[in-house]
Chains A and B, each alone.
Chain A
Amino acid sequence: MTFFDGRKIIPGLLFFVGLVTYPIWYNTLSGKATSVPKLEIPKDKKECIEPKNIIRVHHKEILEDWRTSVVRNGMRVYQASNQKKYTMSLNRTCMECHKDKTKFCDRCHTYMGVTNKCWDCHLYPQELEKGAK
């Protein structure tokens, strides 16, 4: 006496498992999961306002703090941990070096599926050159 009809069930089960785990094995096999987004870093500038490991993790908080500080408190000068002073401005400080957001910010953000609302209002220098208004 068989408990189940193995000839039909088992291939069907294997097919189902394959289908359900498709996102996992497809990305591994095609190499997409292992590709890291490549950012275009400015060639002539040596350092960002904070070291790479800090700014990678905290840039969102830093920008939000800048926004509160400039708009609500009127304080515009940022004292970085390297003791240098920077103006707290997305366009005049960050975008001064990382000129094109599509070659820098968007690379990681699209990869991670992060949406931000900064660009709804703030214009970046390269945007005008491309003719987008």
Chain B
Amino acid sequence: MAGLTFLGLMVKPGWEVVSQIKPLEPSPAPEGFSGKKWAMAVDLKKCWEAKEGCKDCILACHLVHNVPSIGSLKEEVKWIWTIEYGKAFPEHLHDFNRDEYRGRPVIVFCNQCDDPPCVKYCPTRATWKREDGIVMMDFHRCIGCRYCMAGCPYGSRSFNWRDPRPFIQKVNLEFPTRTKGVVEKCNFCEERLAKGLLPACVEACKEKALIFGDLNDPNSEMRRILMGRHILQRQPELGTKPKVYYMV
């Protein structure tokens, strides 16, 4: 009986092999970037040349991704925001920092670490590190346990404490909203990368302070920059291997 079942089960795959019937395969978007290792460089000198209170990158990101403006610090959702220089680079802070650095805003977002603690702690694999280096977020699978938020040393992740839809200023149809109970964070605009576009913040910056590039390409602007000026990273001693490089 078992033998007959086994034989019967072999018929379809066997036939497919023999007759060269290929199942329809999905493929990546043709115009998308692939096979790369993405990283971002932030030129703080150029950023600080912008006018006081410039928020172009933040507004662009939050518009494109339907990020809600909740209004309270406790429940805020943010993919990209600014923190004070001393808080971004605490190991570089001392009593006699240069005046031009002290208290200045540094734009921060998910570092897309190479050794991400959030990925290790996620119980459902709703967040994982893609081959091209982006730490992806699957809102469908997230159960809202917030272990990833506890694990992230940079505070990059936000939780939707309430239904975000009433708080979205202007809805972008091209991207879904999230529901109450999922964690979200910067995703390096992976949906834009799939269409061959640059991340929204990079495009929006008028001072061209944000540089996005491929670390695997030895001739890319990214690699040239990393060879050039002195680079800072947020808390590199933690061993997360962040992929966002700051140039002062």
In Å, the complex CA distance between A67 and B171 comes to: 21
- Chain B proximity of A49: nearest CB distance (Å): 11
- Name B30's contact: one of A71, A77, A125, A128 (CB within 8 Å): A77
B-contacting residues, A74-131, CB 8 Å: 74-81, 87-88, 91-92, 120-123, 125, 128
Task: List A contacts of B168 (CB < 8 A).
Answer: 133
- Tell me the bound Cα distance from A122 to B168 in angstroms: 14
User: Given the complex of chains A and B, what is the CA–CA distance between A77 and B27 in angstroms?
Assistant: 5
Closest B residue to A85 using CB positions = B27
Number of interface residues of B (CB under 8 A): 27
B90: interface (CB < 8 Å) = no
Q: Is the CB of A71 within 8 A of B28?
A: no
In the complex where A71-B140, A123-B171, A133-B168 touch, is A88 in contact with B177 (Cβ < 8 A)? no
Closest Cβ–Cβ distance, residue B67 to chain A (whole Å): 13
Q: Is B29 an interface position by the 8 A CB rule?
A: yes
Identify B26's interface contact among A81, A88, A121, CB under 8 A: A88
Least Cβ distance of A95 to chain B in Å? 9
Q: Does B138 have its Cβ within 8 Å of any Cβ on chain A?
A: yes
Contact A121 B176 (CB under 8 A): yes
User: What is the distance, in angstroms, from A24's C-beta to the closest C-beta of chain B?
Assistant: 39
Tell me whether chain A's interface is mostly helix, strand or loop, or mixed: mixed
Interface residues on A, range: 20 to 34
CB-based nearest A residue for B34: A74
Query: Quick check: A73 and B29 within 8 Å, CB to CB?
Result: no
Can you list, as one digit per residue, whether each of A45-71 has a CB less than 8 Å from chain B (1) or not (0)? Answer: 000000000000000000000010101
Give Cα distance in the complex from A67 to B168, angstroms: 24
Flag whether A72 is at the interface (Cβ < 8 A): yes
Q: In the complex, what residues of A have CB within 8 A of residue B174's CB?
A: 91-92
Determine whether the beta carbon of B24 is less than 8 Å from that of A133. Answer: no
User: Is B26 a contact partner of A69 (Cβ separation < 8 A)?
Assistant: yes
The smallest beta-carbon distance between B4 and chain A, in angstroms, is 30
Cβ–Cβ contact A72 & B138, under 8 A:
yes
> Taking chain B's interface residues, is the majority helix, strand, or loop, or is none over half, making it mixed?
loop
Contact between chains at B177 and A123 (CB < 8 Å): yes
B166 an interface residue at 8 Å Cβ cutoff?
A: yes
> Which residue of chain B has its CB nearest to the CB of A92?
B174
Alpha-carbon gap, A123 to B190, bound state (A): 19
Knowing A67-B140, A133-B168, A133-B171, say if A75 contacts B177 (CB, 8 Å). no
Contacts of B202 in A (CB 8 A): none
The chain A residue sitting closest to B179, CB to CB, is A120
> Is B32 an interface position by the 8 A CB rule?
yes
Complex CA gap A72/B27 in Å reads 13
Kindly list chain B residues whose C-beta atoms are within 8 Å of the C-beta of A92: 174
Partner among B26, B173, B179 whose Cβ is within 8 Å of the Cβ of A78: B26
Please judge, given known A-B contacts A71-B136, A121-B176, whether A133 and B165 are in contact too, CB under 8 Å.
yes
- Can you list 16 contacts pairing A with B, beta carbon distance less than 8 Å? A71-B136, A73-B26, A74-B194, A75-B28, A76-B29, A77-B27, A77-B28, A78-B24, A79-B26, A79-B27, A80-B24, A91-B173, A91-B174, A91-B176, A121-B139, A133-B168
Closest 10 CB pairs of A and B: A75-B26, A76-B29, A79-B24, A121-B176, A120-B179, A77-B27, A122-B176, A69-B26, A71-B138, A75-B28
Q: Which residues of A contact B (CB under 8 A)?
A: 67, 69, 71-81, 87-88, 91-92, 120-123, 125, 128, 133
Q: A72-B138, A121-B176, A133-B166 are in contact. List 8 more A-B contacts (CB 8 A).
A: A74-B28, A74-B130, A76-B28, A76-B29, A87-B29, A91-B176, A120-B179, A121-B177
